[in-house]
C-alpha cells in the first residue's frame, strides 16, 4: 500500500485544508502561542545572521542555522556579531521580560526589518532556529510571514531511544537521526548500547566486550562496536544540537553478549556462544560473584567519564532469569555505582518493584493491558518522589508495526498506527502518575527487525513527530483532526531531507 496510488487525490477537501494551513499553524511541534499578522521579513542577498557579540556558543548556533538555510533560500547569509539592526537576530536576554520562557523557550518575531529570536539560553535559541526553518517554504520565495511566537516545552525530557545492540548502526547513521530529531525539538537520545545480541561500546578495562561481544547481531550479521572516541564524537555532535545522550548498559538481564565475552562472568565459569536470535529474558549476570561487581563498576565508570549528561540508564527490564531477591540486591549495587560516578539513575519501570535509589527516574514501557499490580508499584514509587519517563509500548514503541502490511516490526503490543501513537495525553496516561511526576516522553526504536537506515526511517517517521509534539506542546494544542493536516504539511519537508517516511493513509499527504 506504499506509493502514490492510494494517496489522497487532487480535489480532496483534506488536501485543500493542508494547502490552506498558514505557516504559523504548520509548525510542529505546535508552539505554546503563535500569532500571524502584519508584514513579514523577506530574506535577500544582503541578509545577515547577527549573533550576540563575544558569545561563541550563540555564534555556533548562527553558523548551524546559516548552513541549514543557505540551501533552501539560496542566499549567502554571512554570520556576523552585532546586537541590533536588521536581518536574522539571535539574542540572549536573561531579563525579567523573558522569565516566562524558562530554560528551553524562545520568542520569535518577524517584521519587515528583522526576524528576532530571543531566549534565556542557547538551547532556547537553537529551538527558535528550528522553528524559523519551518516558517520558511521548503523552496522558493524566502519570506518569513509576519507574526510572533512565544514558546516553551510542556516537558523537560523529550527523548528517542535507538537500539544499536540488536542491529548495529554507525556513528554517521546515528548523527543523521540526531539531526532529524533535533529539528522537532527532541532533546534526549537514549542509546541502548548492550544486549544479548551485541555489545557496542569499547570498554578499555574489558576489551573483549567490544572485540568479541560486538561481533554479532540479530540474524548473524557482522555487528560492530564504537570506540570510546567515536562515542564521545557522537555525544559532542548531539550536544551541539542540544540533544543530551543517555547511555544504557542493560543489566542484570539482556547481558548475553557480555557473558559470552568473558567466561568468568558466568556463575559456572564456562564460555558461551554468541547469540543472534530474538528471544528476551534468558540471560543474567551472576549476582553472587565478586567479578560481576568489578565488571559493573569498571563499565559504569568508563561510560560515566565519557558522558557529560546527567543520566546513566542501567536497564533492569525483563530480568526473568534473575530471582526477585537477586534482582533487588544487584540493582542496589548498580545504583550505588552510578551515584559514585556522579550520575543520576534511569531504569526501566521494573525497578519500582525493587528499591529505586533517591532521584532514580523510572521509564514506563507498560501498555493498556499491563496488570494493575505493576502499575500500582510505579504509582507507589511516584508517591515516594520518583519521576517517570513515558514510553508506553502500545503507543511510543516505534518498532511496533503500523498495520498488517508493515514489513519490519513486531506486534506484541499490537499495531500502532500514526493516530494511536499520537492520540494520548502523557499528563493523564498512567493512573497514579500525575503530570507533575512526568519528566517527559520517549519514542523507542528497538531493532530486532530493523536492520537498515531505510527500515529505521520507515518505522520512526512519521510517528516520532507525534511523540515530539506530545513532549513539547501544551495539552490544549493536541488534537488529532488538526494534527493529521499539520503532519501532512511536513511531508514535503521530510521528502526534501530524503527521510524515507511511511506514507500512512490516515494522513492526507500532499
What is the Cβ-side half-sphere exposure of residue 483, based on CA atoms within 13 angstroms? 26
Q: State the DSSP code for 372.
A: H
| Cα distance between residue 90 and residue 87, in whole Å | 10
Taking the least distance from each CB to ligand TNX, the nearer of 160 and 494 is 160
Task: With H, G, I as helix, E, B as strand and everything else as coil, classify residue 99.
Answer: helix
CB under 8 Å to 229, separation ≥6 — which residues? none
Which of 3, 371 has the CB closer to ligand TNX?
A: 371
Torsion of CA 69, 73, 76, 77, to 10 degrees: -50
Q: Which is nearer to ligand TNX, 31 or 316 (CB)?
A: 316
DSSP state for residue 410 in the 8-state scheme: B
| Beta strand pairing call for 79-81 and 49-51 | parallel
Which one, 151 or 442, has the nearer CB to ligand TNX? 442
SS3 of residue 178 by DSSP: helix
Q: How many CB atoms lie within 10 A of CB 335?
A: 23
Instruction: Please tell me the distance from the alpha carbon of residue 61 to that of residue 81, in angstroms, as a whole number.
Output: 12
Least CB distance to ligand TNX at residue 397 (A):
5
The least distance separating ligand TNX from the CB of residue 197, rounded to whole angstroms, comes to: 10
Shortest Å distance, C-beta 408 to ligand TNX? 12
Dihedral sign for Cα atoms in the order 295, 299, 300, 301: positive
Check: CB of residue 445 under 8 Å from CB of residue 159: no
Asked if residues 352 and 437 have their Cβ atoms less than 8 Å apart, the reply is no
Q: Which is nearer to ligand TNX, 217 or 317 (CB)?
A: 317
Distance of alpha carbon 110 from alpha carbon 135, whole angstroms: 10
Angle, alpha carbons 197-275-261 (nearest 5°): 80
Which of 328, 306, 304 is closest to 316 using CA atoms?
328
Q: HSE of 85 in the Cβ direction (CA atoms, 13 Å)?
A: 13
User: Cα–Cα distance between 59 and 67 in angstroms, integer?
Assistant: 12
Active-site residue, 318 included:
yes
Strand order of the β-sheet with 79-81 is 33-36, 147-151, 106-110, 114-119, 87-92, 49-51, 79-81
Least Å from the CB of residue 319 to ligand TNX? 10
CB 186 within 8 A of CB 128: no
The distance between the two most distant Cα atoms of the chain, rounded to a whole number of Å, is 75
Is 93 or 318 the residue whose CB approaches ligand TNX more closely? Answer: 318
**DSSP reduced 3-state for 438:** strand
Least separation in angstroms between CB 254 and ligand TNX: 6
Looking at the Cβ atoms of 399 and 451, the one nearer to ligand TNX is: 399
Shortest distance in whole angstroms from residue 371 CB to ligand TNX: 15
Q: How far is the CB of 398 from ligand TNX (least distance, A)?
A: 9
Backbone angles phi, psi at 130, to 5 degrees: -65, -35
The nearer residue to ligand TNX, 196 or 457, going by C-beta atoms, is: 196
* CA–CA dist 166, 153 (Å, integer): 32
Q: Please, are residues 300 and 312 in contact by the beta-carbon 8 Å criterion?
A: yes
Q: Which CB, 34 or 400, lies closer to ligand TNX? A: 400
Catalytic residue among 318, 374, 448, 457: 318
Task: Give the nearest distance from C-beta 352 to ligand TNX in angstroms.
Answer: 13
Dihedral (CA of 198, 199, 201, 206) sign: negative
C-beta of 83: minimal distance to ligand TNX in Å? Answer: 49
Residues that bind ligand TNX (CB under 6 A): 280, 317-318, 348, 365, 397, 399, 410, 446, 448
Burial class (CB in 10 A: 0-12, 13-18, 19+), 276: middle
Residues annotated as catalytic (active site), given as ranges: 318
Amino acid at each position: 500500500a506504499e506509493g502514490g496510488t492510494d494517496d489522497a487525490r487532487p480535489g480532496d477537501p483534506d488536501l485543500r485544508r493542508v494547502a490552506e494551513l498558514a505557516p504559523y499553524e504548520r509548525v510542529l511541534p505546535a508552539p505554546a502561542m503563535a500569532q500571524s499578522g502584519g508584514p513579514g521579513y523577506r530574506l535577500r542577498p544582503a541578509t545577515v545572521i547577527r549573533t550576540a557579540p563575544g558569545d561563541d556558543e550563540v555564534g555556533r548556533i548562527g553558523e548551524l542555522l546559516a548552513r541549514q538555510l543557505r540551501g533552501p533560500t539560496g542566499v549567502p547569509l554571512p554570520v556576523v556579531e552585532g546586537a541590533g539592526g536588521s536581518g536574522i537576530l539571535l539574542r540572549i536576554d536573561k531579563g525579567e521580560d523573558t522569565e516566562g520562557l524558562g530554560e528551553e523557550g524562545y520568542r520569535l518575531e518577524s517584521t519587515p526589518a528583522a526576524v528576532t529570536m530571543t531566549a534565556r539560553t542557547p538551547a532556547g535559541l537553537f529551538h527558535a532556529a528550528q522553528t524559523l526553518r519551518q516558517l520558511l517554504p521548503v523552496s522558493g520565495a524566502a519570506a518569513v510571514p509576519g507574526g510572533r511566537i512565544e514558546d516553551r516545552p510542556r516537558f523537560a525530557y523529550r527523548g528517542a531511544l535507538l537500539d544499536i545492540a540488536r542491529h548495529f548502526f554507525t556513528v554517521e547513521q546515528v548523527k543523521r537521526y540526531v539531526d532529524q530529531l533535533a529539528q522537532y525539538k527532541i532533546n534526549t537520545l537514549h542509546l541502548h548500547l548492550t544486549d544479548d545480541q551485541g555489545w557496542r561500546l569499547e570498554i578499555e578495562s574489558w576489551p573483549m566486550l567490544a572485540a568479541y561481544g560486538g561481533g554479532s547481531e540479530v540474524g548473524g550479521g557482522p555487528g560492530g562496536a564504537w570506540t570510546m572516541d567515536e562515542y564521545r564524537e557522537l555525544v559532542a555532535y548531539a550536544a551541539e544540537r542540544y540533544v543530551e545522550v543517555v547511555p544504557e548498559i542493560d543489566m542484570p538481564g539482556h547481558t548475553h553478549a557480555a557473558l559470552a565475552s568473558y567466561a568468568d562472568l558466568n556463575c559456572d565459569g564456562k564460555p558461551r556462544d554468541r547469540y543472534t536470535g530474538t528471544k528476551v529474558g534468558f540471560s543474567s549476570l551472576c549476582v553472587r560473584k565478586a567479578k560481576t561487581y568489578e565488571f559493573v563498576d569498571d563499565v559504569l565508570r568508563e561510560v560515566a567519564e565519557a558522558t557529560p549528561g546527567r543520566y546513566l540508564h542501567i536497564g533492569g527490564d525483563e530480568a526473568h532469569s534473575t530471582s526477585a531477591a537477586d534482582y533487588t540486591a544487584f540493582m542496589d549495587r548498580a545504583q550505588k555505582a552510578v551515584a559514585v560516578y556522579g550520575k543520576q539513575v534511569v531504569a526501566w519501570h521494573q525497578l519500582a518493584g525493587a528499591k529505586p535509589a533517591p532521584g532514580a527516574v523510572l521509564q514506563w514501557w507498560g501498555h493498556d493491558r499491563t496488570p494493575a499490580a505493576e502499575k500500582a508499584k510505579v504509582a507507589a514509587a511516584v508517591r515516594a518522589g520518583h519521576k517517570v519517563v513515558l514510553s508506553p509500548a502500545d503507543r511510543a514503541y516505534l518498532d511496533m508495526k503500523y498495520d498488517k502490511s508493515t514489513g519490519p516490526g513486531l506486534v506484541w503490543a499490537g499495531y500502532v498506527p500514526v493516530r494511536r501513537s499520537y492520540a494520548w495525553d502523557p499528563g493523564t496516561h498512567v493512573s497514579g502518575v500525575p503530570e507533575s511526576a512526568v519528566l517527559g516522553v520517549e519514542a523507542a526504536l528497538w531493532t530486532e527487525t530493523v536492520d537498515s537506515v531505510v527500515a529505521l526511517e520507515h518505522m520512526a517517521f512519521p510517528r516520532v513527530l507525534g511523540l515530539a509534539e506530545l513532549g513539547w506542546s501544551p495539552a490544549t494544542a493536541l488534537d488529532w483532526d488538526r494534527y493529521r493536516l499539520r503532519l501532512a504539511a511536513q511531508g514535503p519537508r521530510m521528502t526534501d531531507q530524503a527521510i524515507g517516511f511511511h506514507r500512512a493513509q490516515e494522513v492526507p499527504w500532499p
